[in-house]
Amino acid sequence: MKLEVDRERCVGAGMCVLTAPGVFEQDEEDGRVRLLDPEPAEIGDAVQLCPAAAITANA
């Protein structure tokens, strides 16, 4: 699975970081998502839990 994040769309809710902390982190300056691992083995419900739909997953 390949992940992409849209930092402009991100609202900084942090659900992705709580769900998959090894895959995502929040930028200390603006609170927006940063992708640490674009091809993780597991992300749980991070895509579905993102309130801004800023994360996309492609097979």
Q: Quote the CA–CA distance of 36 and 13 in Å, as a whole number.
A: 17
**pTM of the complete model:** 0.91
pLDDT bucket at 5, cuts 50 / 70 / 90: very high
pLDDT of residue 31: 96
Q: Residue 43: which CATH number?
A: 3.30.70.20
Number of domains composing the chain: 1
Task: Give the phi and the psi of residue 28 in degrees, each rounded to 5.
Answer: -65, -25
CB distance 38 to 49 below 8 Å:
no
Residues 6+ apart with CB under 8 A from 1: 39, 40, 43, 57, 58, 59
The pLDDT > 90 percentage for the chain reads 97
Note down the domain range covering 43: 2-58
pLDDT of residue 52: 98
pLDDT (tens digit per residue) in 7-34:
999 999 999 999 999 999 999 999 999 9
Task: Give the phi and the psi of residue 2 in degrees, each rounded to 5.
Answer: -115, 130
